[in-house]
């Protein structure tokens, strides 16, 4: 397919481009795009880059001139948050399309576009080093990874050097802002608020900064020294960070601070409600990943069964294999088509040795001497109602099967702990806030990130952090209209 001239790889014939375009048009459904613009309207990167990246425009360029677009920076500016895909009325897989183009771009040696994109990421994305690892995925190119990795390393070195030169921001306001939570939403809001001259204090339950960036996302996708770099930046700007500080009610904070931003994430893991869940060796995905990230779990030669078929389940599987697990099964109720994990995550988990088992409903966990030994599932059929589109789960008679397990990991979702919040701002399992302004019903109290969306992405959390800073600034200046 590719030939090499003067060290550069080039595409052999125009026919190859046609073939790729054909593939994108069909399997990724590009041909169904009717240019409604929803993808651009909802894209966090479009808003954060002030319109430099617009998925709608990229899709159009792909259809018209694929050969040129693979050289351009736009294909590198999608953060793979999949919001466009979730909202696209036609189900167009824009992030998958762009990943394919990145692979091709790297294969062909067109990496200038990536270098140009880095300038925008550095300038416009609030936590650029983190975003680079988990969003912009520079190592997704299939062939010439070393070339990309070098550019990437240099970016991190320059960014670190820049932080060493950062000075404390001038505090020009006497209005104090409290932020609860130091995940991407909280850190972003802190950065923008202190730049505007407000004294900012972050309260964080954990002993270290970063939220899910630190305890959820696996070490091999986001090295924890990258989270340290971002935390260092925020501290050097003058933000006060109080770790090991759990806020249990807002009354005291309301007395002491002029505005509060709730960036508390979705940290509470869900449980199955089946017998045996309290056995030793049954652990939630977040606890498992946190322990894996701090090297605090021994799973060498162990059999691991993961319950769940989302991205978090795939991260658990890949972490377990890296830590020496003998056998890793990920079992979910969905079928291959409806599994919620992204295709690239499923593929990566399978290539690394995960066995994926679909249409299985967990019924019981077995143990011996208080420790888990196996988990039982029953085969199910998923039946879609013609009228409502709802999926009905029908257990198949006598189809019980047991999988031996030394560790069972529950990766079935998480929710926000709303127990300490006033009733006026509690919605359905999330904090009820206007996503555009982050205002809640209570004056001076704002909320963003996973706490208002449910588990989403760091990119969306950063956007709400930025929006919160602008809204809080307007609120503290006495402006009524926050949009
Ligand atoms: C395994 C996994 C993999 C992921 N992979 C990706 C990815 O590849 N790309 C991507 O974009 N996103 C990814 N995400 C999602 C992303 O991490 C989250 O969407 C994002 O971290 C949410 O940010 P947040 O600031 O809203 O909340 P969080 O990051 O959850 O931070 C909330 C913080 O608030 C603190 N807190 C909570 N309550 C209190 C309290 N009462 N007092 C004091 N502190 C409190 C918590 O300790 C926590 O530190 C992943 C998530 C997980 C779990």
Strand order of the β-sheet with 259-262 is 240-242, 200-203, 177-180, 259-262, 445-447
**Pair of tokens at residue 164:** 């060493």
CA of 451 to the centre of ligand 1 (A): 9
Computed from CA positions of residues 79, 81, 83, 89, in that sequence, does the dihedral angle turn out positive or negative? positive
Residue 347 CA to its chain's centroid (Å): 18
Closest CA to 400 of 424, 376, 433, 422: 376
360 Cβ inside 6 Å of ligand 1: no
333 Cβ inside 6 Å of ligand 1: no
> Which domains, ranges and CATH numbers included, belong to the chain?
2-164 (1.10.1060), 177-267+416-476 (3.50.50.60), 271-413 (3.50.50.60)
pLDDT bracket for residue 137 (50, 70, 90): low
**Which residue intervals of 27-82 are DSSP H helices?**
38-42, 44-48, 55-69
For 285, which DSSP code? H
For a pocket test of ligand 1, which of 457, 460, 462, 464 has the largest count of ligand atoms closer than 8 A to its C-beta?
Answer: 457
247-275 pLDDT tens trace:
999 999 999 999 999 999 999 999 999 99
pLDDT for residue 181: 98
- Which residue's CA is the closest to the ligand 1 atom numbered 33? 181
482 — alpha (psi -120 to 50), left (phi > 0) or beta? alpha
Task: Looking at the CA of residue 464, tell me the nearest atom of ligand 1.
Answer: 26
The more confident residue out of 422 and 104 is 422
| CA pair distance 460, 479, nearest whole angstrom | 25
196-232 pLDDT tens trace:
999 999 999 999 999 999 999 999 899 999 999 999 9
pLDDT for residue 324: 96
For a pocket test of ligand 1, which of 183, 188, 262 has the largest count of ligand atoms closer than 8 A to its C-beta?
Answer: 183
| CA pair distance 18, 185, nearest whole angstrom | 42
CA of 381 to the centre of ligand 1 (A): 34
Range name among 27-36, 51-60, 289-298 with the lowest pLDDT average: 27-36
pLDDT for residue 142: 46
308-352 pLDDT tens trace:
999 999 999 999 999 999 999 999 999 998 999 988 889 999 999
The more confident residue out of 480 and 360 is 360
CA of 125 to the centre of ligand 1 (A): 17
Range name among 42-56, 109-123, 384-398, 430-444 with the lowest pLDDT average: 384-398
Q: CB within 8 A of 163, min separation 6: which ones?
A: 229, 232, 233, 236
139-176 pLDDT tens trace:
554 445 677 788 888 999 999 999 999 999 999 999 99
The more confident residue out of 33 and 389 is 33
Is residue 27's pLDDT more than 90? no
For a pocket test of ligand 1, which of 224, 458, 465 has the largest count of ligand atoms closer than 8 A to its C-beta?
Answer: 458
**Pair of tokens at residue 446:** 């704002």
pLDDT for residue 11: 53
Q: CB within 8 A of 351, min separation 6: which ones?
A: none
* Interior angle at CA 160, CA 296 and CA 465, nearest 5: 75
pLDDT for residue 8: 43
107 Cβ inside 6 Å of ligand 1: no
Closest CA to 260 of 175, 173, 178: 178
As a whole number, the mean pLDDT across the chain is 92
- Which residue's CA is the closest to the ligand 1 atom numbered 34? 181
pLDDT for residue 6: 42
315 Cβ inside 6 Å of ligand 1: yes
Q: Are 128 and 117 in contact (CB under 8 A)?
A: no
CA of 120 to the centre of ligand 1 (A): 24
pLDDT for residue 391: 84
Q: Are 448 and 189 in contact (CB under 8 A)?
A: yes
pLDDT for residue 404: 98
pLDDT for residue 265: 98
Is residue 18's pLDDT more than 90? no
Strands 177-180 and 259-262: parallel
Is residue 398's pLDDT more than 50? yes
């Amino acid at each position: 397919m590719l030939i090499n001239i003067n060290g550069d790889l080039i595409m052999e014939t125009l026919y190859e481009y046609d073939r790729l375009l054909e593939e994108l048009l069909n399997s990724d459904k590009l041909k169904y795009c009717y240019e409604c613009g929803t993808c651009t309207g909802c894209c966090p990167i479009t808003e954060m880059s002030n319109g430099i990246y617009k998925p709608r425009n990229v899709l159009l360029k792909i259809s018209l001139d694929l050969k040129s677009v693979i050289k351009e920076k736009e294909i590198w500016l999608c953060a793979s948050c999949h919001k466009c895909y979730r909202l696209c009325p036609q189900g167009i897989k824009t992030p998958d399309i762009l990943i394919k183009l990145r692979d091709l771009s790297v294969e062909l040696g067109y990496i200038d576009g990536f270098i140009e994109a880095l300038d925008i990421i550095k300038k416009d994305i609030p936590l650029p080093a983190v975003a680079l690892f988990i969003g912009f995925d520079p190592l997704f190119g299939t062939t010439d990874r070393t070339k990309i990795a070098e550019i990437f390393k240099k970016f991190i070195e320059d960014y670190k050097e820049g932080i060493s030169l950062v000075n404390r921001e001038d505090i020009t306001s006497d209005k104090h802002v409290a932020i609860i939570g130091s995940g991407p939403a909280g850190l972003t809001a802190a950065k923008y608020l202190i730049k505007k001259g407000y004294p900012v204090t972050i309260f964080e339950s954990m002993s270290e900064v970063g939220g899910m960036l630190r305890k959820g996302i696996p070490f091999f996708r986001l090295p924890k020294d990258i989270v340290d770099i971002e935390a260092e930046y925020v501290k050097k700007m003058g933000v006060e960070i109080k770790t090991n500080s759990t806020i249990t009610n807002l009354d005291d904070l309301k007395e002491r601070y002029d505005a509060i931003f709730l960036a508390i994430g979705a940290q509470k893991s869900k449980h199955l409600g089946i017998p045996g869940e309290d056995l030793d060796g049954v652990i939630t995905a977040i606890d498992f990943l946190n322990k894996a990230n701090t090297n605090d779990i021994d799973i060498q030669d162990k059999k691991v069964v993961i319950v769940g078929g989302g991205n978090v389940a795939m991260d658990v599987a890949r972490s377990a294999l890296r830590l020496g697990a003998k056998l890793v099964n990920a079992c979910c109720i969905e079928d291959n088509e409806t599994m919620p994990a992204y295709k690239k995550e499923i593929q990566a988990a399978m290539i690394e040795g995960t066995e994926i088992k679909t249409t299985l409903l967990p019924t019981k966990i077995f143990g011996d001497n208080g420790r888990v030994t196996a988990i039982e599932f029953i085969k199910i059929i998923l039946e879609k109602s013609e009228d409502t589109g709802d999926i009905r789960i029908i257990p198949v008679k006598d189809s019980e099967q047991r999988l031996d397990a030394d560790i069972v990991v529950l990766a079935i979702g998480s929710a926000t702990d709303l127990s300490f919040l006033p009733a006026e701002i509690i919605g359905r399992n999330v904090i009820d806030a206007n996503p555009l302004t982050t205002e809640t019903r209570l004056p001076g109290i704002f909320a963003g990130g996973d706490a208002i969306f449910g588990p989403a992405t760091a990119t969306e959390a950063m956007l709400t952090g930025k929006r919160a800073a602008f809204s809080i600034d307007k609120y503290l200046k006495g402006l009524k209209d926050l949009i």
